[in-house]
Structure 1
């Protein structure tokens, strides 16, 4: 039995897509989330069922928390105290991170106490920050192996006890050669690094054939509306195309915190008749249909 630890269950398409493949392979697992998502990126029945079956850690039940903190030193013996020592004195990126990791140690004890009589064989964390800390300490207390998949924000902006996670992981999933080299630079054993690229299900993501009725081309882009996705640059490029006299339309699918800024930019460049933002996140099943419109 594998216990997956995530920050927000299947809110991330990455989590949902990967775990659905684990499910199809017949591998037993339990999906854990620090918090269950309010929304997720799939509309299929399997996704709703998976979300319903996700075990959510938060909100913590006060009485259970008190009892777990009393019981954990008794149940886990020396492992509890070595893990606590690590939380207090291990290598940390900042004082804030040390406090956060200590809190997550106690959350891990809260999570692990009920699992002691039905221990998982392995614990894997998607993303290496908050959920990764709970997973690492949970595996430490339960005396089972631990692994994680790192991405970007968890390895850089919100890094938490990363060196300890690298050192304690039985293996690390690397989503690129860059990630593999990143871990090697931090002392990871190359034999523990497994590259799993961010692939696509080609049975789902394939072009939908359709006839073209005019010479006006459509530029399509989809993603979360955040700075790193480059939508500002796309809209400015649309302004350049308009100034060069090209006929086109641009449709941007997605939602996110940058939406208001992008709409203002469209107005400033007077592109309202050429650039449209849907303002809605695309469900995974709808992406092929959306992308076939270009």
Structure 2
């Protein structure tokens, strides 16, 4: 029997490969925890996911089916009076679906004998886990990443309540861990830094084979990733007569804006937005590059 279950907002997602790698490494070590995902990622670029892991993902139904399922469980007296009262009291207030998702997942984890759930991101999944903890004899923990720490959304179940209720809070950098401990001193001992893992055996040694030298950057095309600054830096290199090529791997809402910037700076023959690629191809590009840039 698994000791805990995972709960994600969406899984697996090509923009959150660190979540997949965590699950895959535990699977390699023989820990096959149940996986629940609130949303089913659709229209995403193909990735080399392990089908055995994908088969374990239980997707929470969308609103109509979800509400019907919980109401049916209530009629069958599977819900405690406290759960029924909480659902009635919350009504259709903001984030009401988190309560129903908590009931849906919680009932199934009870059947599996699972008493702890770990959520990724201090957002939708963690707020659902919060209600699972309230409704069932179940503890929860969550991994907080970036925006969910430094620019959290405004919800009644906010970051403060999540941190107070969680058994463990995980984050990935010393800076983020210290930030959380200083902001929430009472549960500071519950905050732990765990780095995102990489299997370095999958990476080739850099051979610097690209001619002219290749600059590589990887990430979603959004403002905080800093790709506009990278493009401006490439313009400076071009002005100084340096030979280079630059490739930005990824997609996102700023694609057209970045393409316009590339054209305005006359970098079309030097800089390319190549879209998303499978992880294997990303590693190959990294091996051929002379420089990897992380402009965020």
Q: Into which bin does the TM-score normalised by the smaller protein fall?
A: 0.7 to 0.9
Would you identify which runs of 4 or more consecutive aligned residues in structure 1 move more than 6 Å? Answer: none
Which of the numbers 144, 162, 173 marks the counterpart of 2:138? 144
Aligned equivalent of 2:28:
24
Q: Distance in 2 between matches of 1:117 and 1:288?
A: 41
SS at match of 2:34: strand
Partner of 1:204: 202
Alignment of 1:212-231 (within 5 A): 216-231=212-227
Q: Tell me, what secondary structure is at the counterpart of 1:203?
A: helix
Residue 288 of structure 2 corresponds to residue 293 of structure 1: yes
SS in 1 for 2:80: helix
Contact residue 139 and residue 167 of structure 2 kept, 8 A? yes
**1:260 aligns to what?**
256
| 1:112 is the counterpart of 2:106 | yes
Cα distance, 1:59 vs. partner?
Answer: 1.7
How many pairs were matched up? 278
Q: Is the 8 A contact 2:48 2:278 kept in 1?
A: no
- Following the alignment from structure 1 to structure 2, what is the Cα–Cα distance between the partners of residues 14 and 248? 30
Any idea what the Cα deviations from partners look like across 1:131-176, whole Å, max 9, x if unmatched?
1111121233221111000112223242542112111111111211
Question: Is 1:36–1:54's contact at 8 Å kept on the other side of the alignment?
Answer: no
Whether the aligned pair in 2 keeps the contact of 1:129 and 1:159 (CA below 8 Å) is no
In the TM superposition, what is the alpha-carbon distance from 1:286 to its structure 2 partner? Answer: 2.1
- The correspondence for 2:53, drawn from 33, 50, 53, is 50
SS of aligned partner of 2:112: coil
Unaligned runs of 5+ in 1: 89-97
Q: Distance in 1 between matches of 2:144 and 2:75?
A: 33
Per the alignment, in what secondary structure is the counterpart of residue 128 of structure 1?
coil
Whether 2:237 is the aligned partner of 1:241: answer: yes
Say which of 159, 179, 182 aligns to 2:179: 182
* Residue in 2 that maps onto 1:284: 279
